[in-house]
Every structure is written in structure tokens, then in C-alpha cells.
Amino acid sequence: MISRTTIDQVFDTARVEEVIGDFVQLKKAGSNYKGLSPFSDERTPSFMVSPVKQIWKDFSSGKGGNVVAFLMEHEHFTYPEAIKYLAKKYGIEVEETQQTDEQKEKAGERESLYLVSEFAKDYFHDTLLNSEEGKAIGLTYFKERGFTQETIDRFQLGYSPDSWDAFTSHALKNGYQLEFLEKTGLTIVKEDKKFDRFKGRVLFPILSISGRVLGFGGRVLSNEKKAAKYLNSPESDIYHKSKVLYGIFHAKQSIAKEDNCYLVEGYTDVLQYHQRGIKNVVSSSGTALTPEQIRLVNRLTKNITVLFDGDAAGLRASLRGVDLILEQGMNVKICAFPAGEDPDSFARNNSLEELTLYLEEESRDFIAFKASILASEAKNDPVKRSDTIRDMVLSISKIPDAIKQEVYIKECSRIMDISEEVLFSTLAQLLQKEKRDSARRPERSPRQTLEVVAQKQQVTKKVDVQFELERKIIELLLLYGDVEEEFEDLMLEAGDDGVISLKPELVTSRVFEKVYLDLQEDEIEFANEEFKELYYEIINVLNQNQELKLENFVNKLPPERAKEVSDMLMDEDKYQLHNWESKDIYGASKKDLAARVVTDTLLNLRRYYVNKKIEELKNSPVENGQYLDRSVIQDVNDYKKLDQLLSLKLNRVV
């Protein structure tokens, strides 16, 4: 167990905008930050972070909470793992008691896969550096490739002994279960035999964006013809090769800072660039680029520069990935290296200044690059030339932004010396075809008969008034509980004629005192148990401290309750308009209207209970069309008069 002191120190130190900024590119939006949701595929930012309240809310998926809740949702951490991650990030020493065997057994299967993978990474790295075989074969290979000890340590490169079960035997001796060794793909099990998947290979650990070991890429060093040169971990519950990019953990901060990501093909390309000083680089690890990988980059920047080697034969195939990037609404540049060079060799043979200058000068917009490649193939062949132009327009059609489409059409017209009208017409045809294809449904067989199906009646979800009012009271207490306001108390008063009226009386009190006393006076209890617990927690804090520090309060809540609180606090911010003052428009802030909102909410809650009481009275026992209790009719009339008075006070039509 992690000590309470460590947890409190972590929450006091961690900044939600800094932590989430490692995973999502955030931009200032008034007092908050906005970014693209890391939980869904979206092009319009709906993910909000509040530095003041130290909470976040994703309006596209409904998720939200504090900094720990984000790590638990995004990285699938347990609560202790999230605390340890934050402690490591902020250099906080973790105080914890030793885990018992029973506690270890309770760790879930997913966590067991992570633990096995972490153990393997440490074993392979230690074998590389400290075993005779590792130093003679693995370390020699990395040194020959020009990698320094610092790079080897930073990326935790490793080596697996050229033995059938060296790693597996070592892992089993250390208490790791064969079940999880097999599920991660580290061990291959055939009947009663066990083999190391990566035997005799140098290893590149593949990390998640938060730094957890997901799997490995292994390169064989022997000349055995049957062995694949590169071998990756198989798909597992924690490793999905289509959703991860090699180097993203080490590159994420630099990508966000530079607002650009260099995309290469191999592991060593990434290592070489980092070593040279360019750290905003990731690799698709030799697999075809996927939309999930692109969206991973999209959270950090809208700009990708794809680095190709000088092999002309592979260029055209690589260009297919560019269309996928365009579909995600990102800006693409392409940089090709001279014939015979690739990103790895060019970085190795040039200084940082020379490499940086080359990337700046040779990175071209995708349309210009594509035109030069395809046009050189077409030469003077009219048919090939027309195919080339159509290919370029097809790429432009993938761009979701209409303005960008028009800009690129004009550029294509200039480069290829063809009229804009023809290109726009071709673009319209392609877009129309795509629309038809997406709308097309499987054709009905001629023998099929039409079946008339009754349309299902739309069920309108009824608003739970009591739930919404109780939720609003919690929100007001969180936001303004310690604020002192002048309230208009309403006292029931009967005149000489017996007519009941509401007599206003001005009182000054804190918001939480007003709410607490009004609910006590009316003997109102929260119906929702979660809101009831939150209500008494808030009242207790305010009674003791006379103030409520939101970030401290939220951070001490369980994740589920922290999410509910963040929902309350962030919902209204979704539609908040900023910078009105710059246009000389000055509106009242929510804080300025706190007394009015509190009063109206309490009046509405009273009306709810008054109407509920009326309905209860109407359901009183009757006999021969008469209420058994003759006072029921008078009570109903009195409550209706009270309802009318409350409605008038709320400016409601009655």
C-alpha cells in the first residue's frame, strides 16, 4: 500500500494540464485548455482541462475526473500505478508497505502481462550489458551501428541469448507464470516444450505513450536463412501493433513543443535521430501506417513530416500512407534522402546542423512531392500523365477541409499546367462517387418480398427533476459554497383576511449556510445517495475550514465520485464564450449571479416537494367519491396557493 503522505504529496505537486499535455496537444481556451479527445475519433476539440479546478472532461465520451482518473482511463493504470507514475514524473519518493503474496495474486491478468513484459525488458537489457554473449554479439552490433551507451540505456535496448529457453527458465525461477509468458508472446509453448521467441536477437522494447512496456521488436544477427530478419511480439491484450508507434514515449514532449512529428520506418532510424538531437521522431516499426497510429500523433500535433529513403521503387508504395494522414485532417510534408541514403545513414553521416538544415530545406508539401515523383514516371505519355493528375486529385479529395482542398487544387493546377476548372470538376466527381459508395446498400434479391415493419415509437426520456435539482445544489456548493452573499429569505405570512403571502427579508450569509439551513427548515433530504454523501462531505469541509479548495477536495475523492464532480464543474464550460471584453461586451459572470441561482434552485426544489405533496394528498383514501379525511381538500388548496406564490417568485406563468 502507498502511504497517505505520498498520495497527498503527489496530488499537491501534480498539475493536470502538465500530465495530460504529455498525451494530448492542449491549446489555451480562456481559463481552460482544449484538445482533441484521446478516447474517440474527432476533428473538433471537445476535450477540456481546467488548471484552476485541476480536473478534465471529455465531452465526446463522457469521461472526466482528476489527474489520476485520466491515467486510469487512458493508460488503464490501477490507482496505485497512477500514483507511482506521477511520483516518478515529479521526482517524489514513494513510501509503501511490502505487498503480500495475496495482494500480488489479486493483480489482474492485464497487469500481469505488463509485469512480465517489464521483467523481460530488464532481463534483456542486463544480458546485453553484463553477459559475455550479450557484450560480444548484441552490444557489438549496437556499437557498430554507432549507438552510444546513453542511447542504449535510454531506449533500454537488449539481447536475448541464443539458447532455446534461457529467458523462459529465468522468468519461471523468478515466480512468473508460464500462462502470461505465453500470452505476451515472449515464450512459445508447444505441447510440453517451451521456447524463447526472441532467442539470438537484439531487442527494441516497444513502449506505450506513458512508458509501459507493450512488446518487443527483435532483429536476428545470425545468417540463418529461415529466420525472419525482424520479428515483433504477437498481438496481445496489451500490444496492438496497429495502435502504437515506436519511440512515442520518448518523443511526445518534443512533438508537442516543436509542433511537428517526423515519421520514419525503422527502429534504428528513431534511435539515430534521437542520438543526433532530433527527438520528435517516431516509427511505424515496419508495418503499414494505420489510422490509429496517425490519431496517436494527432493528439500532439497537426503536422507530420514523412521521411523516405532514396529508393524510388518504394516511394510510390509509401505514398499510400500519405492519403491516410490527409484523411485525418493533418498537414503533411515529405522529405526524401539522396539515392543510396536512408534516414538512419544520413543522420549518422551528418552533423545536427547539417541534418536540421536538410530537413528544413528538403521537406516539401505533399502535393509538390507527389507531383514530382508521379510526373517523372509519366514523362511524355499522355495517358500516364492523366492518371498522375487523377491520382493527385484523389489525394486532395481525402482532405476534410474544403478551404485546404481549394488551395491544393490551385497548386496542382500550377504544377501540372492544367486548368483549375478541370481539376475542380474531377474533384467533384470523386467526392460524389465517394458519397454514393458510402450510402450504397446491398441490393435486394428479385425474389425477396417487401416486409412492412411497424416503426418503433420513439421513447422520450423523462427528465428527473429531483435528480437535476440535487445535482445543481452540489455544483453550487462546490463553486460558491464559501462565498458570502445577500439573500432574500421568504417568510410565509397570513394576512387578516387569511390570505397567505411570502414576506421577503434580506439576510447575509455564506452560500453553504443558506443551503444547509433552508434544507433543514424544510426537512428535505437528498434522494440520490451519491449526492447525499457528497453534500455532507462538502458541508463538513466548509464548516471546519470555512473554505473549499476544489483541487484538494476532488483529489481526495474516489475516482467514480471525482468523475461526477468534474462533470458538474465542467459541463457549463463547454459552451463558455471567451474574449467578449475585447469587443466591449461585458456580461455578468456566474459568480455575480450566485445568490440568484442559489435562491432559484432552492425555490424550485421547494416547488418540487410541494407538488409531490399535492399528488400524495390527491391519492388519499376515498369512499363514495369523498376523501375519508375531510381536511385533504383544504390541504391541497393551501399547497396549490403556496405553489402559485413560489411560481410567481420564480417569474413562472401560472
**Residue 150: which H helix or E strand, with range?**
helix 149-154
Identify the band that residue 379 occupies on the pLDDT scale cut at 50, 70 and 90. Answer: low
> Is the model's pLDDT at 586 over the cut of 50?
no
- Quick one: the chain helix, strand, coil %, rounded to 5? 50, 15, 35
DSSP states along 589-640:
-TTTTHHHHHHHHHHHHHHHHHHHHHHHHHTS-EETTEESSTTHHHHHHHHH
Please provide the average confidence, as pLDDT, over all residues in the chain.
82
What residue spans define the domains of the chain? 4-89, 109-239, 249-436, 465-571+587-649
Fold that domain 109-239 belongs to in CATH: DNA primase DNAg catalytic core, N-terminal domain (3.90.980)
Q: Which residue has the higher pLDDT, 493 or 46?
A: 46
**DSSP element (H, E) containing 331:** strand 331-336
Q: Where does the pLDDT of residue 493 fall: very low under 50, low under 70, confident under 90, or very high at 90 and above?
A: low
pLDDT range class, residue 207, cuts 50, 70, 90: very high
State yes or no: pLDDT of 432 exceeds 50.
Answer: yes
4-89: in CATH 3.40.640.10: no
3-state SS assignment for residue 147: coil
Tens-place pLDDT, residues 339-374: 788 889 999 999 999 999 999 999 988 887 877 776
Mean pLDDT along residues 558-565:
78
Single pTM value for the model: 0.67
What is the per-residue pLDDT across 229-275, written as a single tens digit (0 to 9) for each? 889 999 998 999 988 999 999 998 889 888 899 999 889 999 999 99
Q: In this structure, what C-alpha cell is assigned to residue 583?
A: 469587443
CATH class name, domain 249-436: alpha beta
> What pLDDT, on a 0 to 100 scale, did the predictor assign at position 446?
43
pLDDT bracket for residue 444 (50, 70, 90): very low
Reported as a single tens digit per residue, the pLDDT across 276-331 is 999 999 998 767 788 889 988 988 888 999 998 765 555 665 677 788 888 888 89
pLDDT of residue 450: 39
Amino acid at 23: F
Same CATH topology for 4-89 and 249-436? Answer: no
CA 192 from centre of chain? 43
pLDDT at 588 over 70: no
Q: Where are the alpha helices (DSSP H) in 460-584?
A: 465-480, 511-521, 529-545, 550-555, 559-571
Q: Which of the two residues, 627 and 45, has the higher pLDDT score?
A: 45
Q: Over 80: is that where the pLDDT of 223 sits?
A: no
* HEC per residue, 347-400: HHHCCHHHHHHHHHHHCEEHHHHHHHHHHHHHCCCHHHHHHHHHHHHHHHHCCC
Alpha helices in 401-499 (DSSP H): 402-416, 420-439, 465-480
